[in-house]
Amino acid sequence: MSDTNHIKVVVRNRRAYYEYEIIEKFEAGIALHGTEVKSIRAGKVNLGDAFARPRQGSIFLLNLHISPWETANDYDQHEPTRPRRLLLHKKEIKKLSHEIEAKGYSLMPLSLYFKDGKLKVELGMGKGKKVRDKRQNTMKRESNREMERAQKAQRQN
């Protein structure tokens, strides 16, 4: 990566990859208040229960928990789980809204990161995995680990 495209990941939502089959990814900006950015830079953010939904011709990120900034007074504080508007192009908003409403896909944040000093959200559009799909993925991962261990042990002998 070049210096002009510097990316610093703040938090990843690894559970989203386990719970959902990600079909497509999008990058979006996010509208924040002043103390929210400071809290995010300090790593006081939780993506665990967050999801995105279309509302009033925009896409909003719901249940994203950003802890209040300790040193700010009560007037400047933000509500930790308020709905936050995502900054997307109109074409992207229309496409996402259609996919969510017509096909029943879910839209969830995969990661929060700073790109050139601006906070970005990586959104994943996907459908929920069934329990058996999760089990199959776990079994596949375990079998791959066992094969790698066996190959490593064979190389050492």
Average pLDDT over residues 120-137: 88
Instruction: Give the span between the Cα atoms of 147 and 11, in whole angstroms.
Output: 31
Write the pLDDT tens digit of every residue in 79-119: 888 999 999 999 999 999 998 999 889 999 999 999 998 99
Taking the domain 3-128, which CATH number applies? Answer: 2.40.280.10
- The full set of domain ranges for the chain reads 3-128
**pTM for the whole structure:** 0.77
DSSP output for 12-41:
E-HHHHHHEEEEEEEEEEE---HHHHHHHH
Is residue 56 within 8 Å of residue 90, measured between CB atoms?
Answer: no
Instruction: Give the span between the Cα atoms of 126 and 25, in whole angstroms.
Output: 9
